[in-house]
Amino acid sequence: MKAILFATLSISVSAFRPSASSWGLRRTTSLNALVEEFQVGTKKVFVFDGDYSDAVVNTVVETAKAAIATKGSFSLAIPGGSVVSALSGMSPDAFDMSKVSIFFCNERIGANKCYKGALESFVTKCGIPLEQVYKVPEMGPNEAAAAYAALIKDCPAVDSTGPIPSVDLMLLGTGDDGHCGSLYPNSNEIKATGQGKTVLPIDEGDKKSIAVSMDFMNAAKKVVVSAAEPKRAEMVYRALSGDFEEWGCPSGLVHCAGETIWFVDKDSIKSYNLKCRG
């Protein structure tokens, strides 16, 4: 199949200059590591020379403050791994933590690895109420997916006025193969895009999980996609340029209804720069 070049992923690049009030990047120690900002279609790309944990923290803080000031609550969807570990640098008094509701983009049923990682990284330290950290229920994957979708929809901090519930901010990690969350290339889960589902069941025998759908990812008010290290370079090129087969790079299908932001480093952006920017 001919590679699909999405219109929203036009490789024509224009300058992007975010305001300090919108991003909080101007006030972080990561500013010294922020070397370039540009835009690819609807995607805003921030290139760092080194660690950008502070930028992740400050994006969460600034988005939370704005949401709480506007509607009195803040909804955050997170994966596991290094993206969540970055939030260990968040101060307990950064904003009103009692107003936060947290959901998980993917989770192994019963193991609760993402839930435990969130508690360890920032939830306990910041004093976020445990009843507002929405754990995936321990039941069969179909039942768990349906129950978790209902939890998301019914949460007062989530905008459920549209066909798909919308959280204020979603953080996503990526893999070398282009997966994000637990949506892998050419999988049944990524092929469910467009079906209007919020949460998907994954049944791989002894491994039973849930994953939020691409529809839910794209319904968010803001999404941050994180991709660092040299091994991500080819994936970043494919995702940003649109040079991939239909379901071959899930991270490239993230077109958030609000703002889609990529945090990359000088190594992971190299292939894109070489092939698309000369």
- Please report whether residue 156 resides in a domain: yes
Rounded mean pLDDT, 75-101: 96
Rounded mean pLDDT, 139-146: 97
CA–CA separation, 80 vs 85, rounded Å?
8
- Please report whether residue 271 resides in a domain: no
Count of domains in the chain? 1
Rounded mean pLDDT, 119-131: 98
With a cut of 50, say whether residue 174 has pLDDT above it: yes
- Please report whether residue 221 resides in a domain: yes
pLDDT of residue 31: 56
- Please report whether residue 38 resides in a domain: yes
pLDDT of residue 113: 95
pLDDT of residue 15: 34
How much of the chain exceeds pLDDT 70, in percent? 88
pLDDT of residue 254: 98
Domain that holds residue 149: 7-13+24-266
- The string over 74-98, giving b where at least 16 C-beta atoms fall within 10 Å of a residue's C-beta and e elsewhere, is bbbbbbbeebbbbbebbeeebbebe
- Please report whether residue 204 resides in a domain: yes
- Please report whether residue 276 resides in a domain: no
CB-based contacts of 35, cutoff 8 Å, min separation 6: 47, 48, 49, 266
Banded model confidence at residue 13, pLDDT cuts 50, 70, 90: very low
Q: Are 227 and 235 in contact (CB under 8 A)?
A: yes
Token code pair at residue 128: 């976020």
Token code pair at residue 84: 């969540």
pLDDT of residue 8: 33
Q: Quick count: other Cβ atoms within 10 Å of Cβ 130?
A: 12
With a cut of 60, say whether residue 5 has pLDDT above it: no
Rounded mean pLDDT, 159-170: 98
Rounded mean pLDDT, 248-254: 98
How much of the chain exceeds pLDDT 90, in percent? 84
Q: Are 226 and 263 in contact (CB under 8 A)?
A: yes
- Please report whether residue 277 resides in a domain: no
With a cut of 80, say whether residue 23 has pLDDT above it: no
CA–CA separation, 262 vs 250, rounded Å?
14
- Please report whether residue 272 resides in a domain: no
pLDDT of residue 17: 36
With a cut of 80, say whether residue 29 has pLDDT above it: no
Higher pLDDT, 242 or 207: 242
CATH classification at residue 130: 3.40.50.1360
Q: Which residues pair with 238 in a beta bridge?
A: none
